[in-house]
Structure 1
Amino acid sequence: MANIADLLGEPGRITSLVGGGGKTTLLHAIGARLGPKVILTTTTRMAAHEIGDARLLVGPSSAELAANVARDNRPVLVWDRIDDSVVGEPKGVGVKLDAPAGWLE
């Protein structure tokens, strides 16, 4: 069986997950496997309880994101904001589609 790091390719790349179910579970599994220096995010919404073991940053500046990635020993999960206007549990609102590319610069 192939190693997930080998399947994802070289560091410094963006990997996207699409599909009808299991994306959040897979996202956290990849983050746990690859460990520190990994940024996790979504372009949709995530339930507040789906943070997992990642450090959550909401609307960070580029400098704040870089500092947290450099010092933390776990993946960093980035949301644009938290929407608590929905019925039930608040949702983390994902980043704009082009945001992750800017993090690689």
Structure 2
Amino acid sequence: MNIVKLRQEISQIIQDEVKTENVMEAVLKYKKEEEEERKEKIVNGIRAAQDKGIVFGRPRKKIPAQFEVVYEMYVSHRLSSRSAAKMLNVAQSTFLKWCSEHVN
């Protein structure tokens, strides 16, 4: 909605600046309330979906079976995190995340 164009159209119809401003205020207030209601519906829908167990976002990568062996080599300083990640065909950040989860 182009507010300037809307204001011009209303002004042409009403031909009274004070009444035009009153109508514009009412229109903008209605639009704002409508937007807030829409946002609230979205938030409620997301919460309802999460309560049903729906998970948003990208699925987690599964830790490969050879992770333990590569992890032991990494911990014993025989491999760098970059080399270990390459061996597992994952990003270095993913490998380091798995390492921190493995420790905890």
Could you tell me the TM-score, scaled by structure 2's length? 0.20
* Higher RCO structure, 1 or 2 (CA under 8 Å, sep 6+): 1
Instruction: Return the structure number with greater strand share.
Output: 1
TM-score (norm 1): 0.20
CA radius of gyration, larger in: 2
